[in-house]
Structure 1
């Protein structure tokens, strides 16, 4: 009986962990056709390139919840850091960031 209770409690904890995961976590297709992963990390959520010339590089970190985040993203080629917002709408991530409050970029990624 105790073993059954322990198994049930473990299954409930696993189900809660999956349910509680922020929907932004996952694999995304970038505008240029490469893929990037957004995962939980010490800074909140981190973006790591999965394919292309910059595979394996961490290019950003964000904090927030419920589809609204703020943070930084680094353009891998120029190494410019953009500060801005990331919003999640369904299976689409919209990012908008600026560097030196003058140069701004917008990105739209789709979930794979």
Structure 2
């Protein structure tokens, strides 16, 4: 009886594994400038970014929503004081961020590396 119970528990854990897996955006990322950014889950399909190092340590860089490696939301460019409507995608160990302000007149992009 104990063996059946253990096998049943193991089955439940194995089936739950993929559902419990973190989204690709979750983690620590390094900007080309060397600054570290951390994205954490902050709601259902919502991810909040915070600066971990440098001049803006502890500041929010915005929120992204989505899943499966494709996200959209807002990115704060702290050194410019602007908030961009943007997109993010994760491919391997690269997080690509892009965003625009003024209806697409000014756009920026950046690639970060997973740490």
Which TM-score band (shorter chain)? 0.7 to 0.9
Alignment pair present for 1:28 and 2:29: yes
May I ask how many residue pairs the two structures share in their alignment?
A: 107
Gaps of 5+ in 1: none
Return the alpha-carbon distance in structure 2 between the equivalents of residues 96 and 79 of structure 1: 16
1:110 is matched with 113
Return the alpha-carbon distance in structure 2 between the equivalents of residues 99 and 37 of structure 1: 23
Query: Which runs of structure 1 show a deviation greater than 6 angstroms over 4 or more consecutive aligned residues?
Result: none
Gaps of 5+ in 2: none
1:40 is matched with 41
Return the alpha-carbon distance in structure 2 between the equivalents of residues 25 and 71 of structure 1: 15
The offset of 1:12, in angstroms, is 2.7
The offset of 1:79, in angstroms, is 1.4
The offset of 1:63, in angstroms, is 0.4
Return the alpha-carbon distance in structure 1 between the equivalents of residues 17 and 53 of structure 2: 31
What is the TM-score of this pair, normalised by structure 1?
Answer: 0.84
SS in 2 for 1:28: strand
1:70 is matched with 72
What is the TM-score of this pair, normalised by structure 2?
Answer: 0.82
User: CA 1:80–1:22 in structure 2 vs 1: closer, same or farther (change >3 Å)?
Assistant: same
The offset of 1:107, in angstroms, is 0.6
